[in-house]
Amino acid sequence: MKTKIILSIIFISLLLTYSCDKGYEEMNKDPHGFTTASDGSIFNSILSSLRLGWNEQFYINNEILYKQTQLAALTKEEWGNFTIGTEEVWSNYYLNLTLVRDLQTKFNNMGDTSNAVNNMKSMLKIVLAYKTFKLTDLFGDIPFFEAGRGFEDLEYVRPKYDSQESIYMFLLDELKWASENIDVTATQEPYATFSSFDNLLFGDLAKWQKFANSLRLRYAMRMYNKEPESSGEIIKEIIENNLPVLTGYNLSSPVLDNVSIWPYSVSWKNEALNWSFREHDNLRMGSNVWSQMSVNDSSDGSGIFDLRTYLFFETNNESKWRPYPQISSPDTPPSGGVPYATHRDIFFTNKGEYCIYSPFNFYLVRDEDNVPEILMTGAEVHFIKAEAFLRGIGVAQSEMDASNEYMSGVMASFDLWKEIMLNSKLPSSGAGFTDNISLPTNLDQSKLINNVGFWNVTSEIEKLQLIYSQRSIDNFRQVWEAFSVERRTMLTKREGPALDYFRLQYPPSEQINNTKNWLEQVSKMGGDNNNVKIWWMQ
């Protein structure tokens, strides 16, 4: 009877609080075919949930965040039902939080404090931190400490909201514990079997440790304006003690560390990527990002100094570079064509007669196997360090060290994106990138650095703007991260009015299934609106 009651509680908790959306059928399959879930297969399911959702990409990234960050231009707003996207993001997190809590309970009940078990605990803490930071940065305060515990007690079926500040402090402590307790030499059981299910870093404990410290840097810097003392201590500890972090460049040698989901490595076809662009069809290269990659508006591309222009975008139907105005007017010619349609696998040059503006590069949004979903790169770590040295956050202020870190970030971003795209292929034809696109040989690292180096500006503010802008460009396919850079700094290059869109609204299911707590939270915020600033902005 007790067992039946517990199972009923779990079922009611999931039914009342969460919903499954498109893509979960594949996500929740055990890739190794077992009929009973092991700790490793549960962990693998959690890792699979790191993949971007179909509706998340369509309604959140493509309809909202590219426009807000101005990393692209939204040529038409016609997908206002963005709650389809917020519901998917929300349910993805909370459905998998239940799995996290289950593993946490199992690990705690082992009574084993060996380093092998600590490695497993650390990996779980790191993944939970990544997923939770992402969600709270999109929405602000969220249910966390009681959430995912419906199987423990009915009182947790409708969890209360927790402050973003408390969540940040807890997760940063968890990441510190993970970094300090990972033992790269402890590879015996039960870790040995558990790590065989690690389809993110494939049991590379040294890289898990780097990931933990890199995330600590990212989120310590993000909360600096609210918690300068705590942030400075974390940044100082990592930089001055030379703790292992993701590295883009080591002096003059490329390392190109990154934490990414590579579809081919886990036998996964990323079909959602092209679907989100093909069906949405309203994103084009905007005038803002174009101005950061070309010194003039020459449609022949003679002003381009950044090779990533060719990696992220394409010419229009007339082989001309033409950005869509970031701030359009009523007389702006409409966008059209079929630049993201799958027929281009075979007929690559056929973008449609009305494709008069430069679209995203077809390889970037069509390759289902070789274009990764990036979680974090070594380039980003260099940009964070550059800001720390330039502003003197946790370390002695040093423009020379800032410049060196900044240049390492630019070079690492350049090299990683070039490597990714040169290895991309079209699914149907198998045509490689250079089979259809010619890259100018003069667009090398030196060309880019000469145009974006610190020597092109004079003030500290202008140098910070360069750091933030290059970090955002590196985040081209992590648009939610670029959104956080924009909201925190308000210094990335921008056309038109200042940003006034700061968060996503809670999904409608929260109003229905968690009414009391939702009402209290909305009242405390002063309204569930997009212009409400989240904690680290205020």
Q: How far apart are CA 467 and CA 387, in angstroms?
A: 7
Name the pairing type of β-strands 253-254 and 161-162: unpaired
> What is the fold of 2-271+367-494+505-537?
1.25.40
- Token pair for residue 337? 């064509």
pLDDT in tens, the chain (538 residues): 344 444 444 443 443 344 334 343 343 444 333 323 599 999 999 999 999 999 999 999 999 999 999 999 999 998 989 999 999 999 999 999 999 999 999 999 888 889 999 999 999 999 999 999 999 999 999 999 999 998 888 889 999 999 999 999 999 999 999 999 999 999 999 999 999 999 999 999 999 999 999 999 999 999 999 999 999 999 999 999 999 999 999 988 999 999 999 999 999 999 999 999 999 999 999 999 999 999 999 999 999 999 999 999 999 999 999 999 999 999 999 999 999 999 999 999 999 999 999 999 999 999 999 999 999 999 999 999 999 999 999 999 999 999 999 999 999 999 999 999 999 999 999 999 999 999 999 999 999 999 999 999 999 999 999 999 999 999 999 999 999 999 999 999 999 999 999 999 999 999 999 999 999 999 999 999 999 999 999 7
- Identify the pLDDT of residue 460: 96
Residues 532 and 525 sit within 8 Å (Cβ to Cβ): yes
Sign of the CA dihedral running 190, 196, 199, 205: positive
C-alpha distances in Å from residue 93, one per residue of 47, 49, 65, 111: 11, 8, 19, 28
Q: How far apart are CA 538 and CA 536, in angstroms?
A: 6
C-alpha distances in Å from residue 50, one per residue of 39, 129, 261, 282, 468: 18, 12, 8, 25, 25
Beta bridge partners of 74: 283
- Identify the pLDDT of residue 7: 41
Crossing angle of the two packed helices 164-181 and 228-240, in degrees rounded to 10: 20
Other Cβ atoms within 10 Å of 76 Cβ, number: 13
Q: What is the pLDDT of residues 151-210, one digit of tens each?
A: 888 889 999 999 999 999 999 999 999 999 999 999 999 999 999 999 999 999 999 999
Residues 57 and 276 sit within 8 Å (Cβ to Cβ): yes
Global confidence as pTM: 0.92
Q: What is the pLDDT of residues 379-430, one digit of tens each?
A: 999 999 999 999 999 999 999 999 999 999 999 999 999 999 999 999 999 9
- Identify the pLDDT of residue 37: 53
- Identify the pLDDT of residue 153: 84
Q: Is 152 helix (H, G, I), strand (E, B) or coil?
A: coil
The angle formed by the CA atoms of residues 417, 376 and 363, to the nearest 5 degrees, is 30
Q: How far apart are CA 86 and CA 92, in angstroms?
A: 10
The angle formed by the CA atoms of residues 323, 324 and 329, to the nearest 5 degrees, is 145
Q: How far apart are CA 18 and CA 144, in angstroms?
A: 14
- Identify the pLDDT of residue 30: 40
Q: Where are the beta strands (DSSP E) in 131-286?
A: 142-143, 161-162, 249-250, 253-254, 258-261, 283-284
Segments making up each domain of the chain, as ranges: 2-271+367-494+505-537
Torsion of CA 471, 461, 135, 138, to 10 degrees: -110
